[in-house]
Structure 1
Amino acid sequence: MAASPVGVYKRRDTITALPLYYSGHLLKKYTGEKDFKKCYGELRGSTIFLYTDQMHDTYSEKLDLQMLKSMVMDAPYQKNRSTIYTLTLSNEEVQLKVDNPNTGEEWRGFIMTVATREIPSKLQLLPGQILRLEEVLSEEQKRQALCSPLPTTTYPIRPSSSSSSPGNTYDSTLSGIPPCFFPVSRQKAEKMLKENTEYGNIILRPSTDNTNYAITLRQDNPSGPVMKNYKVLSIDTGFIIELNSPVTVPSLAAVLDHFLMETEFRLEPFLVPQTYDTCIGERAS
Structure 2
Amino acid sequence: MSVNPRVVHKRRATITALPLYYSGHLLKKHTEDKDFKSYYGELRGATLFLYTDDTQDTYTEKLDLEQLKSMELNSPYQRKTPTIFTLTLLSEEVQLKMDNPDTGEEWRGYILTVVKKQIPSKLQLLPGQMLLLKEALDQERRRNPPVLRPPLPPRPAFLRPASPCPSPVPAKDKPDNSILDMPSCFLDVSREEAERMLCANPEYGSIILRPSTMANNYALTLRQQTSRGHVMKNYRVSSSNSGFVIELETALTVSTLNDVLKYFLEKTEYRLQPYMASQPYDTRIELSPAPKNISITSPALKTVPKAQVAPMLRSQTKEESLPPPTKPAEGEYVVPDDHRPDEHKLKLDQLDSELRQVLRLRRESIQTASGEDEMYENQPTEKALSCTAQWTKSEAV
Q: Normalising by structure 2, report the TM-score.
A: 0.37
- C-alpha offsets along residues 188-211 of structure 1, whole Å, 9 cap, x if unaligned? xxxxxxxxxxxxxxxxxxxxxxxx
Whether 1:141 and 2:158 are equivalent positions in the alignment is no
In structure 1, what is the equivalent of residue 350 of structure 2?
none
Report the Cα distance in structure 1 between the residues aligned to 2:90 and 2:116, rounded to whole angstroms. Answer: 15
Report the Cα distance in structure 2 between the residues aligned to 1:84 and 1:32, rounded to whole angstroms. Answer: 15
In structure 2, what is the equivalent of residue 23 of structure 1?
23
Q: Identity of aligned pairs, percent?
A: 65
Give 1:3 shift.
Answer: 0.8
Give 1:4 shift.
Answer: 1.1
- How many residues align? The count is 149
Whether 1:101 and 2:101 are equivalent positions in the alignment is yes
Which aligned pairs between 1:199-218 and structure 2 lie closer than 5 A?
none
In structure 2, what is the equivalent of residue 89 of structure 1?
89
Secondary structure in 1 aligned to 2:38? Answer: strand
CA RMSD of aligned residues (A): 1.7
In structure 1, what is the equivalent of residue 356 of structure 2?
none
More helix by share: 2
- C-alpha offsets along residues 7-51 of structure 1, whole Å, 9 cap, x if unaligned? 111100000000000000000001211000000000000000000
Report the Cα distance in structure 1 between the residues aligned to 2:76 and 2:145, rounded to whole angstroms. Answer: 35
Residue type of the partner of 1:142? Answer: R
Whether 1:120 and 2:123 are equivalent positions in the alignment is no
Which aligned pairs between 1:147-158 and structure 2 lie closer than 5 A?
none
Report the Cα distance in structure 1 between the residues aligned to 2:76 and 2:124, rounded to whole angstroms. Answer: 12
Secondary structure in 2 aligned to 1:114? Answer: helix
> Structure 1, unaligned stretches of length 5 or more?
150-285
Residue type of the partner of 1:4? Answer: N
More strand by share: 1
Which aligned pairs between 1:128-277 and structure 2 lie closer than 5 A?
128-145=128-145
- C-alpha offsets along residues 240-260 of structure 1, whole Å, 9 cap, x if unaligned? xxxxxxxxxxxxxxxxxxxxx
Secondary structure in 1 aligned to 2:145? Answer: helix
Give 1:80 shift.
Answer: 0.8
Give 1:91 shift.
Answer: 1.0
Greater RCO (CA < 8 Å, at least 6 residues apart): 1
Residue type of the partner of 2:118? Answer: E
Report the Cα distance in structure 2 between the residues aligned to 1:114 and 1:20, rounded to whole angstroms. Answer: 11
> Structure 2, unaligned stretches of length 5 or more?
149-397
- C-alpha offsets along residues 73-127 of structure 1, whole Å, 9 cap, x if unaligned? 0001001110000000111110000000000000000000001111010011001
In structure 2, what is the equivalent of residue 257 of structure 1?
none
Whether 1:13 and 2:13 are equivalent positions in the alignment is yes
Secondary structure in 2 aligned to 1:121? Answer: coil
Whether 1:59 and 2:32 are equivalent positions in the alignment is no
Report the Cα distance in structure 2 between the residues aligned to 1:31 and 1:98, rounded to whole angstroms. Answer: 16
* Larger CA Rg, structure 1 vs 2: 2
Give 1:145 shift.
Answer: 2.2
Q: Quick check: 2:2–2:55 contact (8 Å CA) kept in 1?
A: no
Secondary structure in 1 aligned to 2:136? Answer: helix
Report the Cα distance in structure 1 between the residues aligned to 2:112 and 2:145, rounded to whole angstroms. Answer: 18
